């Protein structure tokens, strides 16, 4: 079996669901259930004995060794993190606590477990750190895409904290021989993404008749990957990746934010007609330190592990919009009082045009 951390969040929940469908191998899922974690994300696994959910912190130095000793996983896949750039700007402390300090404690727990494994089990064991392309910083319009050898240059509290965790993972491999793998992936989208990130926020606001707040001039570029393709990449790295290596994962789908928002509006116009969604677009004050462009060079994972994305942005977006239209109850349940407070705080400022 494998231990997944952060498996009640967006990518982790998609990963656990896809993993059980693809491999059938049991999963212990350790998640703290922060505002971003939601057992509703795991509803398709209700009653499935192959999935064991444990509420807890990756930084708990008693719980994690006990879980490892009890379940004896052959791998740990670490999704657990604070993950939203805008929240990291308002409150960086939680990012340092989880992405740096708790990740350090997780590595120590896993190191102790791994050291006590017998030869064959230790040979087979893997620790996979799920990271982001944001650790590489920001690209100019003509710069080559991020490769595995691009120097780290994080610009936000979020990306700096993820860069720190990646460095710890690297050092635990280099110094202690922990068989660690790291994936640095571009922006994900798909079912179960919390509606604070660009794509689900725009879908939710569009359907509610609310403004679609585009930061700055809307020309910041991200490389979008459908979440199911990211899950497939992680399975490939876990099975065939070489310990100590880093694999960049991307969708080959660079888009300006304004074009993403217009594509969402066009998809909604087809699937839920009746409103001029694009008329709701508003340009608002920019995010401080907003990275201009991310782009991923995913040739290594293609060449070495044979992975490539199955979805295009058009097909992935269609699937995503349909999922949100079909899951109104999930959406209502995640838009709690806390969510309303976050939206009120983050979008309180007036549109840029009125500044």
Query: Minimum CB separation from ligand NAD for residue 144, in Å?
Result: 20
Choice from 129, 131, 257, 280 touching ligand TYD (CB under 6 A):
257
Is 158 annotated as catalytic?
Answer: yes
The interface partner of residue 215, options being ligand NAD, ligand TYD, none and the CB cut-off 5 to 8 Å by kind, is: ligand TYD
Considering only 64-72, 197-205, 237-245, 308-316, which stretch makes contact with ligand TYD by CB under 6 A? 197-205
The interface partner of residue 248, options being ligand NAD, ligand TYD, none and the CB cut-off 5 to 8 Å by kind, is: none
Size of the site for ligand TYD (CB under 6 A): 12
Spatial CA neighbour of 240 closest among 197, 188, 158, 302: 302
d(CA 94, CA 86): 13
Burial per residue of 47-76, b for 16 or more beta-carbon CB atoms within 10 angstroms, e otherwise = eeeebbbbebbbbbeebbbebbeeeebebb
Burial level of 102, CB count in 10 A (0-12/13-18/19+)? buried
Is 311 annotated as catalytic?
Answer: no
Query: Minimum CB separation from ligand TYD for residue 346, in Å?
Result: 8
From 134, 223, 254, 297, the catalytic residue: 134
d(CA 122, CA 189): 35
Which residues lie near ligand NAD (CB under 6 A)?
5-6, 8-12, 30-34, 36-37, 57-59, 79-81, 83, 98, 102, 130-132, 162, 185, 187-188, 194
Is 18 annotated as catalytic?
Answer: no
The verdict on 187 binding ligand TYD (CB under 6 A) reads: yes
> Is the distance from CB of 293 to CB of 140 less than 8 angstroms?
yes
- Could you please report the per-residue DSSP string of 136-172? G----TTSPPB-TTSPP---SHHHHHHHHHHHHHHHH
With respect to ligand TYD, which residue has the nearer C-beta, 14 or 257?
257
| DSSP 8-state secondary structure symbol assigned to residue 99 | I
State which of positions 216-235 bind ligand TYD (CB under 6 A): 220, 222
Which residues of this protein are in contact with ligand TYD, per CB under 6 A?
85, 187, 197-198, 201, 213-215, 220, 222, 257, 287
């Amino acid at each position: 079996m494998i231990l997944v951390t952060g498996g009640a969040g967006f990518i982790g929940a998609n990963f656990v669901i896809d993993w059980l469908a693809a491999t059938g191998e049991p999963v212990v899922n350790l998640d703290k259930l922060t505002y971003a974690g939601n057992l509703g994300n795991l509803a398709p696994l209700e009653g499935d004995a192959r999935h064991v959910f444990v509420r807890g912190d990756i930084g708990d130095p008693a719980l994690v060794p006990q879980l490892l000793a009890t379940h004896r996983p052959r791998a740990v896949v670490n999704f657990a993190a604070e993950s939203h750039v805008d929240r990291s700007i308002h409150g960086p402390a939680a990012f340092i606590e989880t992405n740096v300090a708790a990740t350090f404690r997780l590595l120590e727990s896993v190191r102790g477990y791994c050291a006590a494994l017998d030869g064959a089990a230790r040979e087979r064991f893997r620790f996979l750190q799920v990271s982001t392309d944001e650790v590489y910083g920001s690209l100019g319009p003509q710069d080559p895409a991020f490769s595995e050898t691009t120097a780290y240059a994080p610009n936000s509290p979020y990306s700096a904290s993820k860069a720190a965790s990646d460095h710890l993972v690297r050092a635990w491999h280099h110094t202690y021989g922990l068989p660690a793998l790291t994936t640095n992936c571009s922006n994900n989208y798909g079912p179960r993404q919390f509606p604070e990130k660009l794509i689900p926020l725009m879908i939710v606001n569009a359907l509610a008749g609310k403004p679609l707040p585009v930061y700055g001039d809307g020309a910041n570029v991200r490389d979008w990957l459908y979440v199911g393709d990211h899950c497939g990449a992680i399975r490939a790295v876990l099975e065939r990746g070489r310990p100590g290596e880093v694999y960049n994962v991307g969708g080959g789908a660079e888009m300006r934010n304004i074009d993403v928002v217009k594509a969402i509006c066009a998809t909604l116009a087809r699937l839920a007609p009746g409103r001029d969604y694009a008329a709701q677009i508003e340009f608002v004050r920019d995010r401080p330190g907003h990275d201009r462009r991310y782009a991923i060079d995913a040739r290594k994972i293609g060449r070495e592990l044979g992975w490539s994305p199955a979805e295009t942005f058009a097909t992935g977006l269609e699937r995503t919009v349909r999922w949100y239209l079909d899951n109104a109850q999930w959406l209502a349940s995640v838009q709690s009082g806390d969510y309303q407070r976050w939206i009120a705080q983050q979008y309180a400022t007036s549109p840029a045009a009125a500044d």
